[in-house]
Amino acid sequence: MIFQLFIINLKAIFSQMFNRTRFSPRAQRPLPLRGTAGKIGIAARIIYCVGAFGFMFFGLFGSMLDEFFALGIGWLYFAIDGVLVFGICTISCIFTAQSQIFNAKDNDLLLSMPLKPSSILLARILTLLVTEYAFEALISIPALLVWLRGGYGTSLGVVFFVVGFILLPLIALAVACLLAWILTLVTSRMRRKNIVTLVISVAFFAAYFYFAFNMQNYITRLVENGAEIAAAFRRVFPPVYFYGNSVANGAPLDALLFALCAVIPFALIIALLSANFVRVATTKRGAKRIEYREKALKTSTALFALNKKELSHYWSNPMYVLNMSMGSMFMVVGGVAAVVKRGALAELASQFSLLIPGLTPGILAGIALAFFATTNCASASLISIEGKSLWIARSLPVRARDALLSKLLMHLQIGALPGVFASLLIIIALSLYNPSELLIALLLPFLFTLFMGVGGLALNILLPKFDWVNEVQPVKQGMPVVLLMFGSMALLIVLALPYIIFLRGVLTISAYVWLVIAVIAALDALLYRWLVTGGAKRFDAYEV
């Protein structure tokens, strides 16, 4: 029974990830996306993710392999692999564990069936474990290949690597389940649980990015003080030392100790959760009830009411905020950093100007902020997230054009306002009083934000998906979001290449950026025109 439940859970995950719809002009409604286009989209996405992560980890492990083995601390190489797997698998799994184990919508249904609670729990744990293995493969396979290519591999080491590969996610999963349980208990009675979750998530991401940006420094320090750090490592986090030593030096005793370190906590956590699963899954939760006190109701226009509704939806889900507004966060951080570290920014700009003559700080800031703007993909899921409540927008006397504009306005509020804020900070910090530079720093990010807004909405109109179970699905896994992400990257490359290849000697960088501004403005105008005419017509044709 556990296996059957596990397969059902897996099918649900795959179906949510890969079942797509597209708007059919013939049927005048969204239909399932089948055939070559759908397969190409899925394949491109997988290749991109695997390629990007693989490239990053190949580089990382390649940079430390020889030094570590030359210093006689080869085990640290795999210990770092273990720490990365543990960290990424734990962070990525906490919220999934929370939603799939403790807050799963089908807990009541399954518990009413003649099934052991432990079977339901184990099936869910196994499903989580599969996703952990996928994350682990992205990190550990490059580590293995770099190690083998370097000529340090041994048969016993490979065997222990496989054992480690199987057991390492158990530690991460045990910790993630425990943290998810604590998080569920802590937030269950909170009224502002979304904000708490958002703050925790941002803290995780900030820690991750801090770590990622300083990775090279850490590696240098590891190489310089290898022996001392290795000893500290061994004391603080013994399981990864056992794992590292078992693979690098083919040590059977360490392999056994590692296996015990992985299996025993995992078994304890499973036993603890099994014993408490029914209580946790059926406890009626909810924030403290607040009684309504009548007060004057504020009025607004239909367009503004729709926009307020969009903003409320956006702020209601921390995953939505995190996934869709990373660029905005970077813009704000960048703007503040420009004020705090203005000297470093000016230095960076002068270094870049050696590569591209004429690249002033203002132009560089404009380009950087425009790049951040292209990572905000909120607009590409704004139609899909209407989901089953689409009937409201369709039955109210609201023009499709207004419904779409309210969504575009929301995208601009979360994308353009931080952009303008960051631009102004940079302008002040770097004293950019040259009108051309000043305008580039303001206009370029704004036009790219607008492009992401109209482009994302256009894609979502053509490829809507309303039959999701969890609204994170269209936001994180939606085809329009992926296409927008890829499309904007492709656009950046297409816009940059002509200058790099053959226009460098013909045009100044400033003149070329103005040309790019004109192109993006024209694209924005075209897409906007389609959105309020053809797009609105399609929106009106959705059958509820």
Partner 1 sequence: MLKIDNLTKTYGEKTAVDNLTLHVAPGEIYGFIGHNGAGKSTTIKAVAGLLAFDSGEITVCGKSVKADPLAVKREIAYLPDNPDLYEFLSGIKYLNFVADVFDVPSTVRQERVHKYAELFELTADLAQPVSSYSHGMKQKLALISALLHEPQLMIMDEPFVGLDPKAAKAVKDLMREVCNRGGAIFFSTHVLEVAEKLCDKVAIISHGKLAASGNMEDVLGNESLENVFFELEDSTK
Q: Which residues pair with 24 in a beta bridge?
A: 29
544 binds partner 1 (CB under 8 A): yes
The residue written with tokens 């940059």 in the block is: 496
397 binds partner 1 (CB under 8 A): yes
503 binds partner 1 (CB under 8 A): no
282 binds partner 1 (CB under 8 A): no
193 binds partner 1 (CB under 8 A): no
Number of residues that bind partner 1 (CB under 8 A): 40
Mark the segment that binds partner 1 (CB under 8 A) among 133-141, 253-261, 301-309, 344-352: 301-309
399 binds partner 1 (CB under 8 A): yes
Q: Return the half-sphere exposure (C-beta side, CA atoms, 13 A cut-off) of residue 30.
A: 22
431 binds partner 1 (CB under 8 A): no
196 binds partner 1 (CB under 8 A): no
368 binds partner 1 (CB under 8 A): no
Given candidates 342, 394, 504, 537, which one binds partner 1 under the rule CB under 8 A? 394
Q: Between residues 61 and 314, which has the closer beta carbon with respect to partner 1?
A: 314
Given candidates 291, 357, 433, 501, which one binds partner 1 under the rule CB under 8 A? 291
Short-list 534, 493, 463, CA closest to 32: 463
Q: What are the helix (H) ranges across 214-324? A: 215-224, 226-236, 238-249, 252-282, 302-316, 318-324
The helices-and-strands tally (H runs, E runs) of the chain is 23, 2
Q: Between residues 504 and 537, which has the closer beta carbon with respect to partner 1?
A: 537
In angstroms, the CA 526 to CA 443 distance is 18
Mark the segment that binds partner 1 (CB under 8 A) among 367-375, 386-394, 502-510, 528-536: 386-394
Contacts of 188 (CB under 8 A, 6+ apart): 283, 285, 286
SS3 431: coil
Contact criterion met (CB below 8 Å) for 488 and 374? yes
Q: Between residues 309 and 504, which has the closer beta carbon with respect to partner 1?
A: 309
Cα 416 to Cα 328, 390, 405, distances in angstroms = 8, 27, 15
Binders in 148-177 for partner 1, by CB under 8 A: none
Binders in 308-337 for partner 1, by CB under 8 A: 308-309, 312-313, 316-317
SS3 432: coil
SS3 33: strand
Q: Between residues 112 and 301, which has the closer beta carbon with respect to partner 1?
A: 301
Q: Which residues pair with 21 in a beta bridge?
A: 32
Given candidates 283, 300, 351, 431, which one binds partner 1 under the rule CB under 8 A? 300
* Side chain identity, residue 438: L
Binders in 28-87 for partner 1, by CB under 8 A: 28
Q: Between residues 31 and 212, which has the closer beta carbon with respect to partner 1?
A: 31
Cα 347 to Cα 52, 344, 363, 425, 432, distances in angstroms = 29, 5, 14, 17, 15
537 binds partner 1 (CB under 8 A): no
Q: How far is the CB of 539 from partner 1 (least distance, A)?
A: 13
Rg (CA), the chain: 26
213 binds partner 1 (CB under 8 A): no
In angstroms, the CA 473 to CA 467 distance is 10
297 binds partner 1 (CB under 8 A): yes
Given candidates 186, 260, 396, 428, which one binds partner 1 under the rule CB under 8 A? 396
Beta-strand relationship, 20-24 and 29-33: antiparallel
Give me the residues that bind partner 1 (CB under 8 A), please. Answer: 28, 286-287, 289-294, 296-302, 304-306, 308-309, 312-313, 316-317, 387-389, 391-392, 394-399, 540-541, 543-544
